[in-house]
């Protein structure tokens, strides 16, 4: 079969859409509703998918005394009946992030053992729900977040520091809700689906220590504000497992999204190979590595023969450093590295996007690479390597007309990448 450019693009988009659809927050919540409480049900939560999760729970339990507060990213809100929905900034928190945390903590205070707290947690919650520890201000937290995002630290390392600088993360929300029963429903966006890492685990006991945090600060040379340094020096550990009896369920995850994409691939005549849902590292370098795997598949049939698709997920990083940076996110930067590595090889197409519909801070989920990406770029006068060096991948793919725009998907199971070899 001869695959045309249009057919290849259409198949890639179907794979991406299938992965996102598998993480529909409403359907996932309805599959995992806990037992109804004897008393009140207080719903709290944070994340890009949390408003849609809250709406599903509110509609499912009309006879239960439901109330609560959930915060999501600007543009991701949906009506949720009796549950108040707030919007805040991501990835850098704003004043609404702090307001939301204050309302959420207030909502879980003064409860009884007959009451149920349902925490709806999804990716992005760490920035959306901010309660600075000690004498830190919101400006201090914003400074820390910006330093982390530019450092190249992994998501796990970022969360370890965030949890120890917070009065709500790292299990402290569940601690505030005692003696009520706490059930946490989680849509995972992190490698390995560790609930302690998702939104910095507000209801999950924390395994990291202040010693770990100090090591991260040294490793990346982080320059923290004085109030943040004072919190670290005070050494107040987050709650540990024995102090937080609660139920935690992963209701949607990157691995399930990749499985859905694989099923769609088979329906389209492609042999899928899932490389993993926890791919990390520098985005451009991951793209170059994946290009090598794809080239081997195309020329030698290793690790899989064409027509096939290589699927992967996880969260790469973009280390900006101290120089100026253009517009882009980790998915478009991954694709730019991939395009350079492929060097225009025929028969290889790729898509990469964030399942929440927003790659970094831009208005695209990601983009598509085709065999003629570099040729078309040259005809437009675009220097591919210069755009890569400037972290300006969004503008590069915008010039080519190859951005993938979905709008907010109201879910988040991290990045979805598909490299099609035909």
Query: With pLDDT > 90 as the criterion, what percentage of the chain qualifies?
Result: 77
Q: Which residue has the tokens 């675009």?
A: 382
- Assign 388 to helix, strand or coil: helix
Alpha helix positions (H), 50-154: 50-60, 95-107, 125-128, 138-151
Using alpha carbons, list the distances in angstroms from residue 405 to 2, 14, 118, 362. Answer: 27, 13, 32, 10
Which two structure tokens, joined as six digits, stand for 338? 């991939």
Residue 1 has pLDDT above 60, yes or no: no
Q: Which pLDDT tens digit goes with each residue over 30-67?
A: 999 999 999 999 999 999 999 999 999 999 999 999 99
| Contact (CB, 8 A) for 130 and 196 | no
Q: What is the pLDDT of residue 318?
A: 86
Specify whether the CB–CB gap between 60 and 34 falls below 8 A: no
- Find the Cα–Cα–Cα–Cα dihedral 141, 146, 150, 152, rounded to 10°: 30
Average pLDDT over the chain, rounded to an integer: 93
CA nearest 98: which of 121, 130, 72?
Answer: 130
Asked if the peptide bond before residue 307 counts as cis, ω within 30 degrees of 0, the response is: yes
Strand ranges inside 60-215, DSSP E: 66-73, 84-88, 116-122, 181-187
Among residues 252, 289, 291, 297, which one has the least CA distance to residue 273? 297
| pLDDT for residue 324 | 60
Query: Residue 329 corresponds to which tokens in the numbers above?
Result: 């996110």
Q: At what angle do helices 210-220 and 155-164 cross, to 10 degrees?
A: 120
Q: Do 216 and 153 meet the contact criterion of CB atoms below 8 Å apart?
A: yes
Calculate the CA 185 to chain-centre distance: 16
* Nearest alpha carbon to residue 174 among 163, 184, 186: 184
Q: Is the model's pLDDT at 381 over the cut of 60? A: yes
* 3-class DSSP assignment, residue 380: coil
**The whole model's pTM is what?**
0.81
Query: In terms of Cα–Cα distance, which of 130, 119, 153 is closest to 43?
Result: 119
Eight-class DSSP state of 73: E
**Coil/strand/helix, residue 68:** strand
Most confidently predicted of 143-157, 165-179, 313-327:
165-179
Structural domains in the chain plus CATH codes: 5-21+255-421 (3.40.1480.10), 32-252 (3.40.50.10180)
Run of H or E residues at 312: strand 308-314
- In this prediction, residue 253 carries a pLDDT of 93
Mean pLDDT, residues 385-391: 93
Residue 322 has a pLDDT of 61
Task: Give the helix/strand (H/E) hosting 368.
Answer: strand 366-369
Q: Angle 137-98-52 (CA atoms, 0-180°, nearest 5)?
A: 155
């Amino acid at each position: 079969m001869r695959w045309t450019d249009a057919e290849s693009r259409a198949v890639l988009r179907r794979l991406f859409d299938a992965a996102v659809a598998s993480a529909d927050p409403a359907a996932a919540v309805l599959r995992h509703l806990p037992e109804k409480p004897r008393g009140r049900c207080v719903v709290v939560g944070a994340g890009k998918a949390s408003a849609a999760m809250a709406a599903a729970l509110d509609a499912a339990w009309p006879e239960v005394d439901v109330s609560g507060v959930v915060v999501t990213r600007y543009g991701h809100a949906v009506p949720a009946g009796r549950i108040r929905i707030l919007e805040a900034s991501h990835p850098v928190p704003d004043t609404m992030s702090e307001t939301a945390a204050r309302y959420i903590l207030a909502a879980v205070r003064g409860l009884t053992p007959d009451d149920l707290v349902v925490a709806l947690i999804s990716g992005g919650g760490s920035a959306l729900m901010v309660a600075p520890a000690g004498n830190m201000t919101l400006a201090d937290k914003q400074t820390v977040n910006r330093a982390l995002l530019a450092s190249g630290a992994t998501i796990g390392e970022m969360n370890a520091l965030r949890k120890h600088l917070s009065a709500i993360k790292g299990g402290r929300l569940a601690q505030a809700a005692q003696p009520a029963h706490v059930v946490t429903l989680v849509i995972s966006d992190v490698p390995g689906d560790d609930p302690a890492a998702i939104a910095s685990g507000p209801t999950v006991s924390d395994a990291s220590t202040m010693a770990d945090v100090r090591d991260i600060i040294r490793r990346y040379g982080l320059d923290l504000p004085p109030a943040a340094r004072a919190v670290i020096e005070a050494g107040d550990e987050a709650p540990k497992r024995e102090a937080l009896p609660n139920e935690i369920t992963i209701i949607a995850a990157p691995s399930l999204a990749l499985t859905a994409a694989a099923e769609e691939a088979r329906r389209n005549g492609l042999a899928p190979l899932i490389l993993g849902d926890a791919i990390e590292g520098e985005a451009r370098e991951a793209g170059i590595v994946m290009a090598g795997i794809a080239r081997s598949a195309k020329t030698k049939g290793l690790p899989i023969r064409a027509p096939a698709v290589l699927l992967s997920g996880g969260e790469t990083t973009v280390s900006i450093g101290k120089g100026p940076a253009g517009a882009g996110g980790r998915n478009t930067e991954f694709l730019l590295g991939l395009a350079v590595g492929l060097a225009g090889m025929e028969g290889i197409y790729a898509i990469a996007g964030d399942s929440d519909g927003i790659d970094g801070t831009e208005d695209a989920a990601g983009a598509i690479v085709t065999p003629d990406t570099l040729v078309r770029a040259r005809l437009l006068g675009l220097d591919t390597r210069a755009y890569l060096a400037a972290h300006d991948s969004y503008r590069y793919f915008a010039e080519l007309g190859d951005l993938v725009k979905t709008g907010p998907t109201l879910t988040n199971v991290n990045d979805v990448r598909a490299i099609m070899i035909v």
